[in-house]
Structure 1
Amino acid sequence: MRSKKLKGKIKRSIKPDLVYSSVLVSKLINKVMKDGKKQKSMNIVYAAMQRSASEIKKDPLSVLEVVVENLKPKIEVRSRRVGGANLQVPTPVNPDRQVSLALRWLVEAARKSRKSTEFWISLSKELVSAYNKEGSAYKKKEEVHRMAEANRVFSQFIEQQ
């Protein structure tokens, strides 16, 4: 009898950042990074966190944790082929994917909102707006939840492990 194969990939460990000793900050730095310029992305993230924390008057790390918690999607839709039709099936989101999506939406929203300002300023503005449960990153989360709610009829097609 053959043993079951491991599903998925082996998870890489991410080292905590130098200033806050947080894996979450390190993940944000990696999301912001372009072309391997980590030092530049570190400077951007630290400056944005300091600016947003001074605006909210809280600890920078706790601000980021609240922001990520506000942006985490609990449920998302996935395409599933059922009887010749592609259905948008609402499925619960894995906790690691929740954090990854929250950080991705945060960085994407900051990149889009950027007009003539520097990126760290737009990132700090997006952090503040996500902290207050508003802004384009939060709208993205609400949109994903609305899609899942609209397709709740197809929740019977969720794959069982």
Structure 2
Amino acid sequence: MRKIRKKQKIYFPDPKFNEPLVSRFINHLMKNGKKNLAYKIFYNAMDKIDSMNSHKENNKKTALEIWKEGLSNVMPHVEVRHRRMGGTNIQIPVPISSNNKITKSIKLLITCASRRKNEKTMSDKLAFEIMDAFNSQGEAFKQKENIHKMAEANKAFSHFRF
């Protein structure tokens, strides 16, 4: 084998939910090494989701289940890569590996939450973006749909895989 495979990074579970995926999300949320602030933002967002969810009697899901389902709703399955052929750039749809799917969905949620204008704090923005992703709407879900539309439009070039 010529290529050296990158080692799979091991994420330790977070203190509150005991979930490695949460600590991975928090690592992406963190800026300038301020992990305690990232923990505070995420846990406040989860509390906000719990309070928003407690009003609905028919929905008995926890905040963590809502977050996981919202993350899976935002997860893209294909992406478009550019390849130069004959003087033109061709966009080739390529399936994404499972590890990169999770990373892309985490980044989509965080960037779309930070762009929201109506809410004041980042935890409120994140909570509303997670709820929108859970309901299959919102900015992150729209961006995922745009990625899939681009791949569908360029399906004719799928035989030019890398």
TM-score (normalised: structure 2): 0.90
Question: How much does 1:62 deviate?
Answer: 0.8
Moved over 3 A (4+): none
CA distance in 2, matches of 1:42, 1:5: 40
Pairing 1:60–2:63 present: yes
Identity %: 34
2:154 pairs with 1:154: no
Letter paired with 2:101 = Q
Aligned to 1:135: 138
Pairing partner for 1:49 from 38, 46, 51: 46
Separation in 2, partners of 1:20, 1:121: 19
Map of 1:35 onto structure 2? 32
CA–CA distance in 2 between the matches of 1:134 and 1:104? 16
Q: In the alignment, is residue 83 of structure 1 matched against residue 86 of structure 2? A: yes
User: In the aligned structure 2, how far is the partner of 1:107 from the partner of 1:46?
Assistant: 14
Match of 1:97 in 2: 100
**Would you say the 8 A contact 2:49–2:63 is kept in 1?**
yes
The answer to whether the 8 A contact 2:80-2:147 is kept is: yes
The CA deviation string for residues 95-142 of structure 1, in whole angstroms up to 9 with x for no partner, is: 111110101010001110045601100110101111000000101100
Give the 5 Å matches for 1:17-28.
Answer: 17-28=14-25
Q: Which runs of 5+ in 2 are unaligned?
A: 55-60
Contact 1:56 1:128 in 2 (8 A): no
TM-score (norm: length of structure 1): 0.91
Q: Give deviations 1:46-85, integer Å, cap 9, x for gaps.
A: 1101211332342121111101110110111001223333
CA distance in 1 between partners of 2:119 and 2:141 (Å)? 23
Matching residue's letter, 1:21: N
Residues 10-29 of structure 1: per-residue CA shift (max 9 Å, x gap): 22211111111111111111
Matched, 1:9 2:12: no
* Residue-pair matches, total: 156
RMSD of aligned Cα (Å)? 1.4
Opposite residue 156 of structure 2, the aligned amino acid is V
Of 136-145 and 112-121, more deviation after overlay is shown by 112-121
TM-fit CA distance, 1:37: 0.3
* Structure 1 unaligned regions, length at least 5: none
Q: Is the 8 A contact 1:48 1:121 kept in 2?
A: yes
Amino acid of the residue matched to residue 16 of structure 2? Answer: V
- Partner SS for 1:144: helix
